[in-house]
Amino acid sequence: MKAPRPKMSKEERRAKYTAIARNRRQSHVNKARDRHLVCYKCRTVGHSAENCPERGGGNSASSLCFKCGSLDHRISACPQVKRFLKGRNQRLDYTKLGALPYASCFVCNEKGHLSSTCPINKNKGLYVNGGCCNTCGSKNHLAIDCPEKNKKGGERDNERENGGVDATIDKFLDEEDVCKIAPMERKKQNSKRKGKVVNF
């Protein structure tokens, strides 16, 4: 005869099953998130380089600062890196950081650089499926971080401030022709439309 198990109180039962449900939900979220990731190490879809099965040992340095080696903060919060943060979105420009003595590369397993700047990984850069920046063709940055795009954005701002007289006169002339034709077409379209009838 088995000894009876001690009864759990309602709160203990709730806490136990809430924790089980939370863990199950978190594992589903992690699987869904990782489904589209491409590993920098083995170039397969479904996991990141830090969780790569081909990684071969190596310690997890998720909370290690690559610049100063501190375990108290990550590289984005490092006091030595604050000057490299970009504008309001606070994204790091890794090309200007210089040497990262505590970083470990997922491609060649050496210390001192990230996988995006690995000499073995030169032909792919940040684009693991191939491709390049849509603006300048570089493989070392994403299109959103393109320096040429930022230069063009500055030119657009200058045009807006100056009125952009030369660039926008043709645009306004083209729009005038469209505006003259458009009202007649709208009248024809409105006359062809029938209202919806809703019966209750």
**pTM for the full model?**
0.42
d(CA 109, CA 103): 10
pLDDT in tens, 92-126: 666 667 778 888 887 787 888 877 777 777 676 67
- Residue corresponding to tokens 């610049």: 67
Residue type at 40? Y
| Residue ranges of the chain whose pLDDT lies below 50 | 57-60, 156-167, 172, 175-182
At 1 the pLDDT is: 64
- Given a contact cutoff of 8 angstroms between Cβ atoms, the answer to whether 104 and 149 are in contact is no
d(CA 12, CA 193): 64
Instruction: Note whether residue 190 is domain-resident.
Output: no
Take residue 179 and report the two structure tokens written for it. Answer: 């505006």
Instruction: Note whether residue 16 is domain-resident.
Output: no
DSSP 104: B
Instruction: Note whether residue 36 is domain-resident.
Output: no
Can you give the residue range of the structural domain that contains 149?
Answer: 132-165
d(CA 92, CA 116): 13
At 3 the pLDDT is: 77
At 29 the pLDDT is: 85
Instruction: Note whether residue 177 is domain-resident.
Output: no
Instruction: Note whether residue 147 is domain-resident.
Output: yes
Half-sphere CA count of 64, side-chain side, radius 13 A: 12
Instruction: Note whether residue 139 is domain-resident.
Output: yes
- Given a contact cutoff of 8 angstroms between Cβ atoms, the answer to whether 41 and 116 are in contact is no
Instruction: Note whether residue 2 is domain-resident.
Output: no
Q: How many domains does the chain have?
A: 1
Instruction: Note whether residue 181 is domain-resident.
Output: no
Q: Helical H runs in the chain?
A: 10-34, 147-162, 165-192
At 147 the pLDDT is: 78
pLDDT in tens, 44-55: 888 877 777 776
